[in-house]
Amino acid sequence: MTDSRGGTGNGGTGNGGAAVGAAAGPALEVRGLTAGYGSLMVIHDLDFTVGRGEIVGLLGRNGAGKTTTLMAIAGFLGRYRGDVLVEGTPLAGPPYRRSRTRVGTVLEGRSAFGSLTVRQNLGLAGADPGEAFELFPELTPKASVRAGVLSGGEQQMLALARALGRHPAVLLIDELSFGLAPAVCERILGRLRAVAEATSVAVLLVEQHIHYAASVVDRALIMNEGLLRAEMPGSDLAARETEIERIYLGGIDEAA
Ligand SMILES: Nc1ncnc2c1ncn2[C@@H]1O[C@H](COP(=O)(O)OP(=O)(O)OP(=O)(O)O)[C@@H](O)[C@H]1O
Ligand SMILES: [Mg+2]
């Protein structure tokens, strides 16, 4: 697989022929996003973009505000301030009110119906089973198996296949690596890279483990206490691990 990581910060390593006319901007644009719970503000004034076909990692330690950021972008959480634009169109209202939402999510908990089969889960998500099994051949022999008895890795594959089934412009993923063996996680991340290149979906990947992010992201945003503290190309992550861990713990380094 080609390593297309460039990390220009402008978003979009995979623009290809799809980027024409109104679709030429970033797939996801977050402007001045401030959100939280009740009167508690957790994330502050976030500004970033994710280009078509780009995988951007959102990194930070426990409690940094990563999940809150995803929830606020997806519309599961009220925003105090700021805008979220998908392919130039502002997202407004809760997700269930958006008939043609182009944002897919893979959140913690994996979100499949445990008592339904893999095939039924794909059908309910509007995903074409043929496409899903092509992407994750491991799921083919499990088509008639209840999702609740899948392994952790298989459940993440199903969650990804469900989210990708509606061909979203933007895919938000929270802690894909959680509870997975390293080899399984790396296999799924490799598949994600191939999907981003093939479909130009823009991926925002929340990850706490720097080495997993380093294997797949084009660009990384480092978050601490609800603020974006640094940004760097994915290809820098492995070499700058100590610096990043310092930012995780509250040390402020200038953005690259
Ligand atoms: N439902 C909630 N109500 C109130 N505060 C919350 C809620 N969910 C999270 N928080 C607080 O918001 C802050 C950020 O939490 P968040 O879940 O976004 O962090 P995170 O970066 O995803 O952490 P982790 O790596 O542990 O998943 C934390 O201080 C947390 O206690
Ligand atoms: Mg989280």
pLDDT tens digits for 178-204?
889 999 999 999 999 999 999 999 999
| Nearest CA owner, ligand 1 atom 27 | 62
- Phi/psi at 188 (nearest 5 deg)? -70, -40
Ligand nearest to the CA of 60: 1
Give the pLDDT score at 78.
Answer: 79
The closest residue, in CA terms, to atom 9 on ligand 1 is 68
**In the prediction, which pLDDT does 105 show?**
92
Q: Which residues of the chain have pLDDT under 70?
A: 1-23, 94-101, 109-110, 251-256
At residue 46, the pLDDT reads 98
**pTM reported for the whole predicted model:** 0.89
Pocket perturbation via mutation, ligand 1, pick of 58, 68, 248 by most ligand atoms within 8 A of CB: 68
**If you search the block for the tokens 């199903």, which residue do you land on?**
158
Question: pLDDT tens-digit profile of 147-180?
Answer: 999 999 999 999 999 999 989 999 999 999 988 9
Give the integer Cα–Cα distance in Å for 136 and 246.
Answer: 37
Q: How far apart are the first and last CA of the chain?
A: 27
What CATH number does the domain located at 25-102+168-248 have?
A: 3.40.50.300
CA 76 to centroid of ligand 1, rounded, Å? 14
At residue 17, the pLDDT reads: 38
What is the whole-number distance in angstroms between the Cα of residue 66 and the centre of ligand 2?
A: 5
- Nearest ligand to the C-alpha atom of residue 222: 1
Domain ranges for the chain, please list them: 25-102+168-248
220 DSSP β-pair partners: 57, 232
223 CA closest ligand 1 atom index? 21
* 236 membership: H or E segment, kind and range: none
Name the closest-CA residue to atom 3, ligand 1.
37
Spell out which residues line ligand 1, taking CB within 6 angstroms: 37, 40, 42, 60, 62-68, 208
68: left (phi over 0), alpha (psi -120 to 50) or beta: alpha
Distance 56 CA to ligand 1 centre (A): 20
Sign of the C-alpha dihedral computed for residues 185, 249, 205 and 109 taken in this order: positive
Cβ atoms of residues 142 and 207 within 8 Å? no
